[in-house]
Amino acid sequence: MVLGMRSGPVLAIDIGGTKLAAAVVDADGTCHARRRRATPVATPASVGDGARELLDAVVDLAVRSRREWERSAGAGSTPPVAVGVGCGGPMTAGGELVSPLNIAAWREFPLRRALQEAFGLPVFVDNDAKALARAEGWLGAARHERNYLAMVVSTGVGAGIVVDGRLLDGATGNAGHLGHVIVEPDGRRCACGAQGCLEAETSGTAIAAMTGRPAAMAPLELRVRAGRLVGRAVASAVSLLDLRLATVGGSVALGFGAPLFAAANAELAERSRLSFAAGARIVPVGLGDQAPLLGAAAVALHRHGTDEA
């Protein structure tokens, strides 16, 4: 995936249900002044104020990152030319109105406009998992691959899908919500309202609810089960879209590690039996914990460089 190379770094922001992160990222993918903090949690009673509080936290973090970069880059360096944002979905096209399932404070929140007002720069917003797919094709484990998906198994579960070298947007920009593919028809109730979604069975939130402990403390049996269900969802996507590769990141998947990936690949091999699907693989993301910020940067570099705004 070729990115626009208009000169100058971009300010990258990742907005998740558990943490926020920001950095200044060069056009070659070098990250500077990375900062992160926990996502402020709004109580239902404070949802109105919570929306503003969360926005302020995002802006404050990004401003701190930009200042730190300015101090270290020195006078004469080109300042960030745009802002790229990865945020949990769903959202309307271009992140005009975001309603992240795992961030109760924002329902139809005008994220792109609010950040444009705060920074006075062009702002480009996309779903965080679609942003990850851009990053993985740019610098990660899906380099040289034209048909793949990149997914996150973290507080929530999501994916971005690239077919024939093109990131799929879908009718409303929400293509790739693999977390809401049904993997257990009689399974747990999902935050989306359906039952047995991959997210309802394997997200960090779901696993913590099942065990009463943080997902990081889950027993081996649950790690293997999560892998099996990830493999099941990927198998359907591989058969449907003729994909070759799924790269998987997020704190739950990377934390569960080898048992999850082994179970996922075994299930994929078991469930996708058409000859063209044989040989598809599930691997960890190539960019580790930098993936979300590089993805956010890729959203801005791609869109800013090609004037697709």
Kind and range of the H or E run holding 20: strand 19-25
Q: Which is nearer to Zn ion, 183 or 296 (CB)?
A: 183
Query: How do 148-153 and 245-249 pair as beta strands?
Result: parallel
Amino acid identity of 87?
C
Question: What is the smallest separation between the CB atom of 264 and Zn ion, expressed in angstroms?
Answer: 19
Closest C-alpha to 88, from 183, 1, 157: 157
Sole window of 23-31, 146-154, 185-193, 250-258 interacting with Zn ion (rule: CB under 5 A) = 185-193
Residue 156, φ and ψ in degrees, nearest 5: -120, -175
Q: Specify the DSSP class assigned to residue 257.
A: -
Sole window of 182-190, 201-209, 211-219, 287-295 interacting with Zn ion (rule: CB under 5 A) = 182-190
Q: Which is nearer to Zn ion, 11 or 190 (CB)?
A: 190
Task: Out of 13, 139, 197, 298, name the contact with Zn ion by CB under 5 A.
Answer: 197
Amino acid identity of 173?
G
Q: Decide: is 177 part of the binding site for Zn ion (CB under 5 A).
A: no
Q: How far apart are CA 242 and CA 237, in angstroms?
A: 8
Closest C-alpha to 83, from 303, 306, 307: 303
Q: Decide: is 190 part of the binding site for Zn ion (CB under 5 A).
A: yes
Question: What is the smallest separation between the CB atom of 179 and Zn ion, expressed in angstroms?
Answer: 6
Q: Which is nearer to Zn ion, 180 or 302 (CB)?
A: 180
Contact, 36 vs 23, CB < 8 A?
Answer: no
Q: Decide: is 153 part of the binding site for Zn ion (CB under 5 A).
A: no
Task: Out of 192, 208, 266, 269, name the contact with Zn ion by CB under 5 A.
Answer: 192
Q: Which is nearer to Zn ion, 140 or 179 (CB)?
A: 179
Q: Decide: is 194 part of the binding site for Zn ion (CB under 5 A).
A: yes
Q: How far apart are CA 234 and CA 27, in angstroms?
A: 31
Question: What is the smallest separation between the CB atom of 299 and Zn ion, expressed in angstroms?
Answer: 24
Q: Which is nearer to Zn ion, 195 or 239 (CB)?
A: 195
23 bridge partner residues:
12
Q: How many residues bind Zn ion (CB under 5 A)?
A: 5
3-class SS of residue 39 = coil
Q: How far apart are CA 153 and CA 204, in angstroms?
A: 8
- Structure tokens, 196: 């047995």
Question: What is the smallest separation between the CB atom of 254 and Zn ion, expressed in angstroms?
Answer: 22
Sole window of 55-63, 162-170, 191-199, 242-250 interacting with Zn ion (rule: CB under 5 A) = 191-199
Task: Out of 112, 180, 232, 281, name the contact with Zn ion by CB under 5 A.
Answer: 180
Footprint of Zn ion (CB under 5 A): 180, 190, 192, 194, 197
